Structure 1
Amino acid sequence: MKVLHVITGLAAGGAEQQLRTQLPYMSADCEVAVLTGAGVVAEAISATGVPVHRLDMRGNRDVRALGRLARLMRAGRYEVVHTHLYRACVYGRVAARLANVPAIVATEHSIGREQIEGRRITQPIRALYLASELLGHVTVAVSPTVADRLALWGVPRSRIVVIANGVDAGAFRYDPRLRERTRDTLGLPRDAFVVGGVGRLEPGKRFDLLIEAMPGLDDAFLLLVGIGSRRRQLEELARTLGVERRVVFTGESPDPRAMLSAMDVLAAPSQEETFGLAVIEALAAGLPVLYDTCPAIDDLPPGAAPGARRVMPARLSAEIGALARARPTRLTPPRAVRLYDIRHQVKQLEALYRRLLGAQASEEWR
Structure 2
Amino acid sequence: MSKTVLFVASVTKKHIIQFHLPYMKWFKEHGYKVHVCAGDDFEPEEARHIPYCDEYYIVPFYRSPFATQNFRSYKELRKLIEENEYELVHCHTPVAAAIARFAFRNARKKHNTKVLYTAHGFHFYKGAPKISRLYYSVEKAMIRYTDGIITINEEDYLAAKKMCRNKKCDAYKISGIGIDLSRVRNSTRTREDIRDEFGIPHDAFLVMSNSEINENKNVECSITAIAANKGVYMLICGTGKSMDKCRDLVKELGCTDRIIFAGYRYDAKELLHGADAFIFPSYREGLGLAAIEAMGAGLPLIVSDNRGTREYAVNGENAIVCECNNVSQFINAVRLLSSDGELCKKLGRNGYSCADKYGIENSLAEMAEIYGKYVDIPTSETETEVLSGENR
Shorter chain as normaliser: what TM range? Answer: 0.7 to 0.9
Aligned residues: 353
Q: 1:306 to 1:229 in 2, by over 3 A?
A: same
What is residue 384 of structure 2 aligned with on the other side? none
5+ residue gaps, structure 2 = 377-392
Distance 1:332 1:295 in 2: 20
What is residue 366 of structure 2 aligned with on the other side? 348
Distance 1:302 1:190 in 2: 29
What is residue 145 of structure 2 aligned with on the other side? 135
Distance 1:23 1:90 in 2: 21
Residues 112-261 of structure 1: matches in 2 within 5 Å?
Answer: 112-113=123-124, 121-150=131-160, 154-156=163-165, 159-165=170-176, 166-173=178-185, 175=187, 177-261=189-273
Q: 1:125 to 1:337 in 2, by over 3 A?
A: closer
Q: 1:119 to 1:104 in 2, by over 3 A?
A: farther
Residues 303-335 of structure 1, C-alpha deviation per residue, up to 9 Å, x if partnerless? 9x9433323443221221222233445747633
Amino acid at match of 1:19: H
What is residue 339 of structure 1 aligned with on the other side? 357
Distance 1:346 1:249 in 2: 33
- Alpha-carbon contact 1:70-1:98 (below 8 Å) kept: no
Once the two structures are TM-superposed, the CA of residue 39 in structure 1 deviates from its matched residue by: 3.3
Once the two structures are TM-superposed, the CA of residue 30 in structure 1 deviates from its matched residue by: 5.7
The structure, 1 or 2, with the larger RCO (C-alpha pairs under 8 Å, 6+ apart) is 1
Distance 1:279 1:92 in 2: 30
Distance 1:256 1:308 in 2: 20
Distance 2:23 2:135 in 1: 28
Distance 1:136 1:75 in 2: 21
What is residue 11 of structure 2 aligned with on the other side? 9
Q: Choose the corresponding residue for 1:46, options 36, 45, 49.
A: 49
Q: 1:58 to 1:138 in 2, by over 3 A?
A: closer
Distance 1:50 1:226 in 2: 25
Q: Which stretch shifts more, 339-348 or 176-185? A: 176-185
Distance 1:199 1:244 in 2: 19
Once the two structures are TM-superposed, the CA of residue 6 in structure 1 deviates from its matched residue by: 0.5
SS at match of 1:8: strand
- The answer to whether structure 1 residue 318 and structure 2 residue 332 are counterparts is yes
- Alpha-carbon contact 1:45-1:52 (below 8 Å) kept: no
Distance 1:21 1:315 in 2: 38
Once the two structures are TM-superposed, the CA of residue 124 in structure 1 deviates from its matched residue by: 4.2
Amino acid at match of 1:169: L
What is residue 361 of structure 1 aligned with on the other side? none
Distance 1:119 1:20 in 2: 33
- Alpha-carbon contact 2:9-2:92 (below 8 Å) kept: yes
Identical aligned pairs, as a percentage? 20
Distance 2:181 2:234 in 1: 24
What is residue 379 of structure 2 aligned with on the other side? none
Q: 1:53 to 1:260 in 2, by over 3 A?
A: same
Q: Choose the corresponding residue for 1:292, options 304, 310, 319.
A: 304
5+ residue gaps, structure 1 = 359-366
Amino acid at match of 1:287: L
Distance 2:338 2:314 in 1: 26
Amino acid at match of 1:61: T
Residues 163-218 of structure 1, C-alpha deviation per residue, up to 9 Å, x if partnerless? 23122211211536354443333333343321112222222222212111223322
Distance 2:40 2:274 in 1: 28
- Alpha-carbon contact 1:82-1:105 (below 8 Å) kept: yes
The RMSD of aligned alpha carbons is: 3.4
Distance 2:94 2:156 in 1: 14
